[in-house]
């Protein structure tokens, strides 16, 4: 496994410890909540198309299930680390708690690059993953979903294998499935739209009309595309988008000072969220270095790609104009930057609040699967907006009342809810 110097688990624990100090958490509660409660590490042998066998490493990490079954995606990423999955499992617990859905936190991953695997190899990998973990996941204990580079098709193969192992139909055992196969309408849009629902509310508190604003976005995958779509449909102008280019092994920023046509950009991206460089140039985009996305003269920056992106170097390159950082990705900002963001009085919408729309819609998917009755898209999105808006105001009002930074206020609400659950259950 690749060794990286940045450790998201250390970030997640630092964030937790800081808030545990603020709310005066007792030691046993801290010990319970600052680390996952269970971890599964396993191997997945896969027959490759050329007749050889390749062994992949898979993980499922369950942080806390006091409020309900664990919930969290499965990442397919060649650079995935156990500590990233641990961090993400913690963030899932806080995310479900901050939007007040009855689920806990978990996360999974397979060290693999699906871009280099055939469809058949991907299917065998998905089925192999589930065979190793089928007894420890599912609707009653831990519900997986797609994440970076995993898709609805992957989830359906996983569900099919899960149902074969358990001998029944359990559509609520895995979410993010294709619509018509137990998936919810609106799930594709949910995370990105949720980000923009919280941004819309944040701009209200700042008395800024969204239609007068400009934004720069890092990433153009599932989250970022729907961030860009809803933001521009509300009148905002997307000046720049950055994404990874697999062939060149580097990121690029695509910029149009008068605003990118989001629909056009979506037409020239591949299924992994990479924009075709030549076609973008053909559309009149300027091609800048990947890091330039955060140095644009915009009102809002929306990191929607990876963790560890808003670093001090990135922060000091921000334009004076930036008023809001809206975290679409998980863990994009390192703790050192929180101090800087606070000092400059930039409004931060923290990741586990901003991007909770995905898990909220996954919860709606489970509810619909349990009823075997599916809501129209408008109803799903209306319920999503209601949840996200109410969660935003809960966090904002606490931050204002207690003079807290938005990230800390979100943590206080989430941690208190989980602490109440573990205490009521008699765990501590």
Active-site residue set: 107
Q: At closest approach, how far in Å is the CB of 412 from ligand NAD?
A: 21
Stretch that binds ligand NAD, among 44-52, 221-229, 374-382, 418-426 (CB under 6 A): 221-229
Burial class (CB in 10 A: 0-12, 13-18, 19+), 141: middle
Taking every pair of Cα atoms in the chain, the longest distance, rounded to a whole number of angstroms, is: 63
333 binds ligand NAD (CB under 6 A): no
Q: Is the dihedral of CA 253, 88, 363, 411 positive or negative?
A: negative
Query: Is residue 176 classed as helix, strand or coil in its secondary structure?
Result: coil
149 binds ligand NAD (CB under 6 A): yes
- Which residue lies nearest ligand NAD, judged by its C-beta? 221
**Region class of 118: left (phi > 0), else alpha (psi between -120 and 50), else beta:** beta
Query: 46 or 240, CB closer to ligand NAD?
Result: 240
Q: At closest approach, how far in Å is the CB of 221 from ligand NAD?
A: 2
Q: At closest approach, how far in Å is the CB of 327 from ligand NAD?
A: 9
Residues in contact with ligand NAD, counted by CB under 6 A, come to a total of: 26
Among residues 218, 296, 333, 368, the one that binds ligand NAD under rule CB under 6 A: 218
Q: At closest approach, how far in Å is the CB of 365 from ligand NAD?
A: 12
Among 120, 137, 118, residue whose Cα is nearest residue 129: 137
Query: 20 or 36, CB closer to ligand NAD?
Result: 36
103 binds ligand NAD (CB under 6 A): no
Among residues 15, 175, 191, 294, the one that binds ligand NAD under rule CB under 6 A: 191
217 binds ligand NAD (CB under 6 A): no
Among residues 203, 306, 395, 406, the one that binds ligand NAD under rule CB under 6 A: 306
**Region class of 167: left (phi > 0), else alpha (psi between -120 and 50), else beta:** left
98 binds ligand NAD (CB under 6 A): no
152 binds ligand NAD (CB under 6 A): no
Among residues 133, 215, 305, 391, the one that binds ligand NAD under rule CB under 6 A: 305
Q: At closest approach, how far in Å is the CB of 401 from ligand NAD?
A: 28
Among residues 64, 216, 274, 333, the one that binds ligand NAD under rule CB under 6 A: 274
Query: 121 or 147, CB closer to ligand NAD?
Result: 147
80 binds ligand NAD (CB under 6 A): no
Site string for ligand NAD, 393-412 (x = CB under 6 A): --------------------
**Region class of 235: left (phi > 0), else alpha (psi between -120 and 50), else beta:** left
Q: At closest approach, how far in Å is the CB of 427 from ligand NAD?
A: 27
133: Cβ contacts below 8 Å, ≥ 6 apart: 40, 42, 58, 60, 108
Asked whether 199 and 304 are in contact (CB, 8 A), the reply is no
Angle (nearest 5°) at CA 183 between 179 and 189 = 80
Among residues 157, 220, 231, 396, the one that binds ligand NAD under rule CB under 6 A: 220
Among 275, 280, 328, residue whose Cα is nearest residue 301: 328
377: Cβ contacts below 8 Å, ≥ 6 apart: 185, 186
Among residues 68, 144, 182, 219, the one that binds ligand NAD under rule CB under 6 A: 219
Site string for ligand NAD, 350-389 (x = CB under 6 A): -----x--x-------------------------------
Per DSSP, the residues of 369-420 read: HHHT----HHHHHHHHHHHHHHHHHHHHHHHHHHT--HHHHHHHHHHHHHHH
How far apart are alpha carbons 107 and 89 in whole angstroms?
5
93 binds ligand NAD (CB under 6 A): no
**Region class of 249: left (phi > 0), else alpha (psi between -120 and 50), else beta:** left
Among residues 203, 240, 251, 268, the one that binds ligand NAD under rule CB under 6 A: 251
Q: At closest approach, how far in Å is the CB of 189 from ligand NAD?
A: 10
277-296: contacts with ligand NAD (CB under 6 A): 290
Query: 147 or 408, CB closer to ligand NAD?
Result: 147
Stretch (H or E) spanning 54: strand 53-64
Asked whether 361 and 187 are in contact (CB, 8 A), the reply is yes
Neighbouring CB atoms inside 10 A of 426's CB total 6
- Tokens representing residue 368 in the block: 């619909």
Query: 188 or 368, CB closer to ligand NAD?
Result: 188
Could you list the residues that contact ligand NAD (CB under 6 A)?
Answer: 147-149, 191, 218-224, 242-244, 251, 273-274, 290, 304-306, 328-330, 355, 358
């Amino acid at each position: 496994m690749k060794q990286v110097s940045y450790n998201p688990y250390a970030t997640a624990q630092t964030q937790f410890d800081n808030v545990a100090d603020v709310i005066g958490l007792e030691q046993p509660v801290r010990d319970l909540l600052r680390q996952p409660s269970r971890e599964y590490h396993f191997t997945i042998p896969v027959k490759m198309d050329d007749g050889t066998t390749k062994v992949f490493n898979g993980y499922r990490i369950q942080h806390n299930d006091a409020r309900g079954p664990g919930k969290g995606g499965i990442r397919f990423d060649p650079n995935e680390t156990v500590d990233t999955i641990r961090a993400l499992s913690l963030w899932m617990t806080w995310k479900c708690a901050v939007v007040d859905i009855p689920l806990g936190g978990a996360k999974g991953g397979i060290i693999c690059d699906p871009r280099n695997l055939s469809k058949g190899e991907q299917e065998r990998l998905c089925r192999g993953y589930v065979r190793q973990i089928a007894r420890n996941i599912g609707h009653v204990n831990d519900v997986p979903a797609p994440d970076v580079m995993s898709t609805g098709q992957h989830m359906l193969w996983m569900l099919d294998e899960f149902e074969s192992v358990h001998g029944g139909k359990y559509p609520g055992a895995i979410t993010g499935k294709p619509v018509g196969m137990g998936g919810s309408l609106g799930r594709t849009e949910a995370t990105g739209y949720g980000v923009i629902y919280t941004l819309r509310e944040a701009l209200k508190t700042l008395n800024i009309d969204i239609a007068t604003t400009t934004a720069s976005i890092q990433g153009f995958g599932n989250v970022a595309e729907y961030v860009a779509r809803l933001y521009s449909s509300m009148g905002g102008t997307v000046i720049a988008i950055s994404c990874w280019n697999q062939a060149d092994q580097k990121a690029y920023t695509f910029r149009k000072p008068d605003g990118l046509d989001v629909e056009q950009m979506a037409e020239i991206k591949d299924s992994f969220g990479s924009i075709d460089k030549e076609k973008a140039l053909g559309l009149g985009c300027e091609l800048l270095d990947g890091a330039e996305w955060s140095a644009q003269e915009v009102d809002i920056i929306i990191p929607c790609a990876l963790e560890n992106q808003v670093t001090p170097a990135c922060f000091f390159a921000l334009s004076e104009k930036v008023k809001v950082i809206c975290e679409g990705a998980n863990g994009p900002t390192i703790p050192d930057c929180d101090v800087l963001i606070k000092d400059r009085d930039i409004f931060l919408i923290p990741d586990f609040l901003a991007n909770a729309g995905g898990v909220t819609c996954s919860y709606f998917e489970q509810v619909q699967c349990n009823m075997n009755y599916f809501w129209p898209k408008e109803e799903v999105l209306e319920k999503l907006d209601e949840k996200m808006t109410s969660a935003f105001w809960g966090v904002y009002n606490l931050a204002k009342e207690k003079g807290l930074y938005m990230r800390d206020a979100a943590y206080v609400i989430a941690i208190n809810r989980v602490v109440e659950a573990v205490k009521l259950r008699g765990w501590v």
